[in-house]
């Protein structure tokens, strides 16, 4: 670690960073004694990786295995690799990860790379590399989306990311401010973080229990420039906060999280909707997304910025134009109140109600762990190589739950739980 990197690390509250690592292990993963852990992170996040390893081994972890990414290393490929490189991916690595998850290895991802790292690179190469990686990652991704093992995502305030969020601040100040924003959103800014998460999970469980008791057939969204009906999958089940993986471990996949979510019916979405916040996707900021759905499929798509990238995403495969997730988040969520655009879906999706293009989660079905992919598809679950969340909620959004007989129940009014 260079002197400059040490100075940046010094601007991050070490007590709160340690709490984040502890929460990741004890709440995010609820790591079992003897369980192995596979960890991915940017090189910049090494201080957090080390603290995670400490807490994981204190919890009785078997082996903690880290894999690192590096921004300069990533850029070297785009600037010097032969053209054929962009249609390839390390499938052997993801096959190994899938094998590890099959053998009950837990999964932790630490995010923190510069969200605009690839903004100056050839978008066609970025799209090709992304598609190749998505295909290669499929064996491991299936284990994650099907919740075969306990997994969790947290964040570290790298300097390059911090300067995107706070461009007018000196680097050390930007890192310190982003760190505090991450700690606050992740509920580790105060003592008793593990207990605070238990209370938060209980509140989210109340929301999911009410929604599951209603058994809505569809949700209807109304707001300026929004008139959208999202049919819900047959036998759908709402989830939020802590969930139990197929290996029997109850964990929090995302830290932070403010959402409750379920699976829409991929053939029963109609109307039009406009994004309420920009989507940061692989170095491109896609803003003011406007789409029209017919029979579940996006038939028209525009954006005031990043439209070319949006259309490349939609052409990934047949399922990319259909929804795999619908999530409810109140406008008063802590991340929304912060007023920040994090340029990172882990945070930005928790600032507003959102939808996700692409792959659905099998756990969002009644007895989802017992359903085959064919049964999930028959019940309306979508299949795709992608899963991309983007925000559609605001303080002007009304949402009604629609029962099969057409009766309506208020769910949200002006962006808040009704």
Position 405 in a domain:
yes
How buried is residue 364: exposed, middle or buried, by Cβ count under 10 Å (0-12/13-18/19+)?
buried
List the pLDDT tens digit at each of the 418 positions of the chain: 566 666 677 899 999 999 999 999 999 999 999 999 999 999 999 999 999 999 999 999 999 999 999 999 999 999 999 999 999 999 999 999 999 999 999 999 999 999 999 989 998 999 899 989 989 999 999 899 889 999 999 999 999 999 999 999 999 999 999 999 999 999 999 999 999 999 999 999 999 999 999 999 999 999 999 999 999 999 999 999 999 999 999 999 999 999 999 999 999 999 999 999 999 888 788 999 999 999 999 999 999 999 999 999 999 999 999 999 999 999 999 999 999 999 998 999 999 999 999 999 888 999 988 899 999 999 999 999 899 999 999 999 999 999 999 999 999 999 999 9
How buried is residue 144: exposed, middle or buried, by Cβ count under 10 Å (0-12/13-18/19+)?
buried
Same-domain check for residues 50 and 133 = yes
Same-domain check for residues 171 and 228 = no
* CATH number for position 57: 3.40.1830.10
Please report the pLDDT score of residue 146 as a whole number.
Answer: 85
Please report the pLDDT score of residue 265 as a whole number.
Answer: 98
Q: Which residue do the tokens 């990197």 mark?
A: 5
How many CA atoms lie within 13 Å of 359's alpha carbon, on the beta-carbon side?
18
Please report the pLDDT score of residue 37 as a whole number.
Answer: 98
List, in order, residues 6 or more apart from 413 with CB less than 8 Å away: 398
Number of separate domains in the chain? 2
Range of the domain at 152: 3-185
CA distance 220 to 63: 47
CA distance 383 to 320: 8
Position 348 in a domain:
yes
CA distance 74 to 306: 22
Question: Residue 104 in 3-state DSSP?
Answer: coil
Same-domain check for residues 229 and 378 = yes
Position 262 in a domain:
yes
Of residues 169, 152, 163, the one with CA closest to residue 117: 163
């Amino acid at each position: 670690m260079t002197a400059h990197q040490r100075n940046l690390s010094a601007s991050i509250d070490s007590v709160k960073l340690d709490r984040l690592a502890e929460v990741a292990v004890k709440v995010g993963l609820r790591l079992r004694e003897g369980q192995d852990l596979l960890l991915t992170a940017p090189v910049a996040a090494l201080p957090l990786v080390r603290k995670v390893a400490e807490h994981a081994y204190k919890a009785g972890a078997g082996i903690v295995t880290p894999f690192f990414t590096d921004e300069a290393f990533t850029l070297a490929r785009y600037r010097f690799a032969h053209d054929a490189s962009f249609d390839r991916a390390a499938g052997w690595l993801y096959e190994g990860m899938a094998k590890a998850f099959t053998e009950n290895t837990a999964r932790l991802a630490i995010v923190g790379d510069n969200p605009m790292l690839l903004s100056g690179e050839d978008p066609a190469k970025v799209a090709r590399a992304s598609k190749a990686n998505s295909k290669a990652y499929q064996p491991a991704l299936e284990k994650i989306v099907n919740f075969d093992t306990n997994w969790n995502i947290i964040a570290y305030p790298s300097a390059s990311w911090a300067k995107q969020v706070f461009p007018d601040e000196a680097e050390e100040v930007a890192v310190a401010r982003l760190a505090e924003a991450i700690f606050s959103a992740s509920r580790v800014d105060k003592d008793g973080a593990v207990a605070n998460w238990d209370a938060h999970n209980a509140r989210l469980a109340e929301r999911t229990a009410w929604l599951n008791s209603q058994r809505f057939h569809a949700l209807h969204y109304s707001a300026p420039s929004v008139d959208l009906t999202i049919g819900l999958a047959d036998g759908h089940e709402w989830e939020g906060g802590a969930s139990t993986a197929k290996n029997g471990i109850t964990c929090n996949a995302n830290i932070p999280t403010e959402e409750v979510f379920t699976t829409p019916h991929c053939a029963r979405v109609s109307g039009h909707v406009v994004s309420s916040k920009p989507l940061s996707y692989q170095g491109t900021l896609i803003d003011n997304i406007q789409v029209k759905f017919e029979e579940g499929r996006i038939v028209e798509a525009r954006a005031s910025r990043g439209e070319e990238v949006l259309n490349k995403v939609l052409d990934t495969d047949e399922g990319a134009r259909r929804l795999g997730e619908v999530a409810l988040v109140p406008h008063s969520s802590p991340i929304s109140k912060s007023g920040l655009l994090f340029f990172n879906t882990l945070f930005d999706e928790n600032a507003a109600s959102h939808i996700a293009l692409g792959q659905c989660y099998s756990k969002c079905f009644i007895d989802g762990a017992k359903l085959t992919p064919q049964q999930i598809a028959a019940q309306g679950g979508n299949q795709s190589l992608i899963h991309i969340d983007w925000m559609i909620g605001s303080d002007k959004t009304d949402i009604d739950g629609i029962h099969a007989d057409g009766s309506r129940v208020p769910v949200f009014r002006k962006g808040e739980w009704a």
